[in-house]
Amino acid sequence: MKKVRRKIGKYEVGRTIGEGTFAKVKFARNTETGESVAIKVMAKTTILQHRMVEQIKREISIMKIVRHPNIVRLHEVLASQTKIYIILEFVMGGELYDKIVQQGKLSINESRRYFQQLIDAVDHCHTKGVYHRDLKPENLLLDAYGNLKVSDFGLSALTKQGVDLLHTTCGTPNYVAPEVLSDRGYDGAAADVWSCGVILYVLMAGYLPFHEADLPTLYRRITAAEFVCPYWFSDDQKSFIQKILDPNPKTRVKIEEIRKDPWFRKNYFPVKLGEDEQVNLDDVQAVFDDIEDRYVAERAEITEGGPLIMNAFEMIALSQGLNLSPLFDRHQDYVKRQTRFVSCKPAKVIISSIEAVAESMGLKVHSRNYKVRLEGVSANKVGQFAVVLEVFEVAPSLFMVNVRKAAGDIFDYHKFYKDLCAKLGKIIWRPAGTMPDSNLLKQMTL
């Protein structure tokens, strides 16, 4: 079997760290500076087939415009003959969503700090005429220092001259503002503020203010702003949340008023911005115009052997710092969309074991180059469920299996991962002193 490690221009490309319907996100390293980056890879055929050219151009342009310490930074955009590569800041702390699911409600001081950083980032977007429209904990990342970074501007809107209201209904139902659900147009700034309020509630409560099994009931509750604050909210917290989750966008508190609130101002240190950088969007246009001299070299470095070897840069990034214990103690990362376990068995035995277990679980199996894709029907029988497992060599005779959700519900994924690990118990290596995995999943509140 041959090992392949790709290079895209000056970037050495490693494992897949995220996967969606239209794109994959790869971990990579800038070979000139040693900096870790994330590369969002999109096939040009997919972009054209789904008529996404303008949407992708808008997303890239917006990310170039909104440069801020609490927003994921876009470094550059590249293109090969067949693909578009969006080079992004690599944020190693994971999603805020994972932290909430693992810990439940956060402390007041921690909740306030994340909310302050969120408001700073959102306000900066609004001053640039950009409205995010899909603010939620899954789109808020944490860096190595615990600072919040807003990501995923795929549904963002950039205001047009002479147009005051937005009309596209978009976003995630539990976080969307009441006025967005109507067809009468809405103010993007007020809608983002509402989403920030839902996020703050989730941070402090550990669960959603609006959560129903069916959409009509959910929308009715959102439209009427029917929510109850938990008993541990102070009067100040309740008052603050109620000002933000005001169903009337005209009387809803604005960001400048949020910043003046005594609860918000406690331990508030506004981020200091440098001078506005000159933003040039010519490279974005060039990439989509297929200008030949904008193509980047894409090549594969092939060597004989088994699975890809995970280098030190990837291991450090994967373990979220220099503490490598999360790689080997699965009890620490059970809540994430991307989980992993370690085995001392040969790579071929690991793959064949995974295939056998998957077939016993009624899943379709597709294997290639030490990577396995498993497909099935989601628990609610409505959509598809898919998981990708990839084997990496981290040391001689020591392999790491990276498991990530490719499609379906996050809760289906957690259940699958628990069942899979139970059935693969004989090949999973556990260092002395680590927790047994009989209770890998805590009760989830989201």
Active site residues: 134
Q: Is 40 annotated as a binding residue?
A: yes
Q: What is the 3-state secondary structure (H, E, C) of the chain?
A: CEEEEEEECCEEEEEEEEECCCCEEEEEEECCCCCEEEEEEEEHHHHHHCCCHHHHHHHHHHHHHCCCCCECCEEEEEECCCEEEEEEECCCCCEHHHHHHHHCCCCHHHHHHHHHHHHHHHHHHHHCCEECCCCCHHHEEECCCCCEEECCCCCCEECCCCCCCECCCCCCHHHCCHHHHCCCCECHHHHHHHHHHHHHHHHHHCCCCCCCCCHHHHHHHHHCCCCCCCCCCCHHHHHHHHHHCCCCCCCCCCHHHHCCCHHHHCCCCCCCCCCCCCCCCHHHHHHHCCCHHHECCEEEEEEECCCEECCHHHHHHHCCCCCCHHHHCHHHCCCCCEEEEEECCCHHHHHHHHHHHHHHCCCEEEEECCEEEEEEECCCCCCEEEEEEEEEEEECCEEEEEEEEEECCHHHHHHHHHHHHHHCCCCCCCCCCCCCHHHCCCCCCC
Which residues are part of a known binding site for ATP? 40
